[in-house]
Amino acid sequence: MRNLKVWQAALAAIVAATVAQAQTSDSEVQDQGIEGFTEPIRKLDLIPPEPGIIASLSVHEGDRVKKDQLLGSLDCDTQQVALEIAKANMAAHGKLDSAVAERDLRRWRLAKLQKLRAEGHANDEEVTRAADELAVAEANVLTALEQHATDALEVDRIASMIERRMMRSPFDGVVTRIFREEKEFVGNNNTPVLTIMQLDKLRVIFTIPTALAVRLKADHKVLLTFPNSNQRATDKIESISPVTEAESDTVRVKVLIDNAEGKYRCGVRCAINLNKLP
């Protein structure tokens, strides 16, 4: 019985020490802060949708760009020639004018024959033949109009092909890396020409112990510190993962930093101190 009491006392002491250690650990985490790294809210490796030779690059690393701004283009000489031909075909009205003139002539001739037949100077066969010729002439006009519409669509198609070879920025951002140079061939190997990042907002992903994460809420303001620059920022929690990572007992928490003035660098260490909530 005495040994049992000794064993129970020892077990109670171990449990108490474990709890105290866990509480101390949580306190240390809160005091020291949990670190992450600032990331761009959006990042894009710009890859042309088709192969070709880079004809121009109009930006440099570090340049700020606007949405839809032209950053560069692939060689479009062949497509430009095809576009000029298509535009010339669309602008040509010779066939249409000829068909219209022929139709008007056939229409006048039919009316003339119908009048002569009424006067007894033309027979039904002549009138029927003239009516058939007018129908053919009207079909020729319709064919010319359809061809004109097709030519217009061909212009749009080739213009779209040329636009596909233009490299434009999909959002306001900064060119952070250029991988290719002018006159260099770009193939189908998914190699980017350049990288654009949106840096007016930065995101930090923290892995926080579940015991601490459950105390946080989305849109909750937190105090962030930047050890490398001694800067501070107060921003909102963007999201809290509803799932705990079983292996580490941690939760992913995302914080969004307003960086419209460009005060904070992307890719640097950032700490969240959960004991110092604003």
For the domain spanning 44-76+166-194, the CATH number is 2.40.50.100
Write out the chain's pLDDT in tens, 278 residues: 555 554 555 555 554 444 444 444 444 444 447 999 999 999 999 999 899 999 999 999 999 999 999 999 999 999 999 999 999 999 999 999 999 999 999 999 999 999 988 888 888 898 899 999 999 999 999 999 999 999 999 999 999 999 999 999 999 999 999 999 999 999 877 889 999 999 999 999 999 999 988 889 988 899 999 999 999 999 999 999 999 999 999 999 999 999 999 999 999 999 998 875 54
Cα separation, 89 vs 154, in Å, equals 9
Q: Are strands 269-272 and 166-168 parallel, antiparallel or unpaired?
A: unpaired
Please state the pTM of the whole predicted model: 0.73
b/e sequence 105-120, b meaning 16+ C-beta within 10 Å: ebbebbeebeeeeeee
pLDDT at 276: 56
pLDDT at 131: 92
Supply the pLDDT for residue 2. 52
CA distance 183 to 181: 6
